[in-house]
Amino acid sequence: MKYSEFPYKRISIETQKGLMQSWLKRFNDAESAEEQIKVLEEVNTSISEYSSYGAIASLNFNRNIHDEEAKAEKEYYDSIGPDIQEIYNDLDKAIDSSKFKSELRDKWGDTFLKSIEMDLKTFHPNIMDMMREETDLRNDYTKLIGGAQIEFDGESYNLAGLGPFHKDKNRDIRKRSYAARFDWFAENSNKFDNLYDKLVKLRHKIATTLGYKNFIELGYLRMSRSDYGPEEVAKFRKQIVDYVVPIADKLSEQKKKILGLEHLYFYDGINFIEGDPKPKGTPDELVKGAQKMYHELSPETGEFFDIMVNEKLMDLVNRDGKMAGGFCTAFPTYERPYIFSNFNGTDHDITVLTHEAGHAFQCYSSRKQPLVSYLWPTMESAEIHSMSMEFFTWPWMDTFFKEETERFKYKHIAGSLSFLPYGACVDHFQHWVYEYPEATPEDRKQKWLELESIYLPDRDYDDLEFPKAGGIWQGQLHIYQMPFYYIDYTLAQTCAFQFWIKNEENHIKAWEDYYRLCKAGGSLPFTELVKLAKLNSPFEDGCLKSVVNKVSNWLDNIDPLSL
């Protein structure tokens, strides 16, 4: 089936309640582990259907935020989320206290039971109305960002459409395009401030209602982080400050020479004086190139990408009314993933395609996992697949960039390394925000600037007032939509660099480790998946320093002025 042919329907809460009453009775009355397992397999099928229909509703809205029918379907699934959670909460309690718990562990592993333990700590019927309100506020942010119409040089653009001007080789165009972007944010500043203020206070109230001191512990539980906590993350951020920030500063000094500038401003985001490398070809030609690439990379990726193309499981090009950004979603019932992005003619088109294809390939590889909860791993693990896929496809980058291939590789490595401090800054900011939920919007902006001075000391916004006042983080949708989902990228990047190093040394072994990781899905927590892939944990002393030194040595052997 093509995506457009996927069956879709609304799941009825009343039907789900009736089914759950039946499942719960059979589960509690079961006289053997086999009987309980049979019930849970039926439940798994139902959850798979609910997840698939909800994903279709959400995707259709993201494809066109002006589509009223799609909006209504997404709002329906958003509205029933807390009810569904309440329905399944009773079964989670029964599983947690099952007399056959050891047999259930033998059947599906410890991750299944640990996930239920964490889920039970994140929900109570008392917070259902607050959960609905949180979803509504997140949707308000989506609509605000997705509906941006920004005038620039006589034309109107959404945020993704404005992107190419930010990377123009002409410095004046870069600056003016950023000025237009930030003017739009400034015009909507009160809306962004009010939205975030409501979200922070609401999340704090949800956390205290559940018995937590603040939202931080609840936020980690929501992210299903069972094997590390804020202390480990804080130590990792400190390593980024110690080992990565100095290299990022060195790369900034190098960029001045490359661009022939005495001083770098925020809008000097290009890497070469002639402008950053751009993909050669139409979107259709890029997809054909990717199809050939994935056939040559491995039989598994060739089969996977043929399905993505033939079943129209990708929506890649930017257009009016389409939500900004890129993501991968999935429909467990149909055993298919879906890639969403916004091609705009920049090199990001290729990195987002390979990145989201990494997510999609993992999801396709783990489609036969016995539980829908094992289809995806936790976020920091999932980002290993996507970021590593960016590196595994390096040998084929000349397909897309032709004579600019080496420039792209330099930009890719330098940009990936330089991203780590920003990722840590976003995470540190969120920890502070939820530690001090009564802070004002102005307090938050000042804190952001303070943290920027630690993690991003070279940033200079020139006379662009909105970011100078500390508001630039309001364009980072993760901060609004999925609190604490950002350090994941830095942890995963540390692992992806290890795959890059391994792949340079022995491609066959590196791919075997990567494919083994993909097939495992979410059957293990982060640190155990890292071991399965024969990688070093980013939390281990010396891991980040070792990885960064190898990346830095590679960069030292490149003369970007000669590329």
The pLDDT tens digits of the residues spanning 368-403 come to: 999 999 999 999 999 999 999 999 999 999 999 999
pLDDT at 152: 98
Q: How far apart are CA 485 and CA 489, in angstroms?
A: 8
Q: Is the pTM of this model over 0.75?
A: yes
pLDDT of residue 438 exceeding 90, the answer is: yes
pLDDT at 310: 98
Query: Across residues 414-425, what is the average pLDDT?
Result: 97
Name the β-bridge partners of 339.
314, 328
Alpha helices, DSSP H only, in 210-282?
A: 215-222, 230-239, 245-259
Q: How far apart are CA 135 and CA 131, in angstroms?
A: 6
Instruction: Using DSSP, state whether 522 is helix, strand or coil.
Output: coil
pLDDT at 433: 98
Instruction: Using DSSP, state whether 291 is helix, strand or coil.
Output: helix
Q: How far apart are CA 142 and CA 443, in angstroms?
A: 24
Query: Across residues 405-433, what is the average pLDDT?
Result: 97
Q: How far apart are CA 156 and CA 235, in angstroms?
A: 44
pLDDT at 325: 87
Instruction: Using DSSP, state whether 492 is helix, strand or coil.
Output: helix
Query: Across residues 133-160, what is the average pLDDT?
Result: 94
The pLDDT tens digits of the residues spanning 269-288 come to: 999 999 999 999 999 999 99
Strand pairing of 150-152 and 327-331?
unpaired
pLDDT of residue 324 exceeding 90, the answer is: no
Domain ranges of the chain: 3-108, 147-184
Picking from 224, 242, 237, 219, the residue whose alpha carbon sits closest to that of residue 539 is 237
pLDDT of residue 46 exceeding 90, the answer is: yes
Query: Across residues 158-167, what is the average pLDDT?
Result: 93
Residue keyed to tokens 């653009």: 157
The pLDDT tens digits of the residues spanning 172-213 come to: 999 999 999 999 999 999 999 999 999 999 999 999 999 999
Contact status, residue 533 vs residue 514, Cβ threshold 8 Å = yes
Mean pLDDT of the chain: 97
Contact status, residue 251 vs residue 414, Cβ threshold 8 Å = yes
pLDDT more than 90, % of the chain: 98
pLDDT of residue 151 exceeding 90, the answer is: yes
Determine the number of helices (DSSP H) and then strands (DSSP E) in the chain.
Answer: 25, 5
Contact status, residue 96 vs residue 113, Cβ threshold 8 Å = yes
Query: Across residues 305-334, what is the average pLDDT?
Result: 95
Picking from 281, 517, 260, the residue whose alpha carbon sits closest to that of residue 400 is 281
Band (pLDDT 50/70/90 cuts) for residue 352 is very high
pLDDT of residue 223 exceeding 90, the answer is: yes
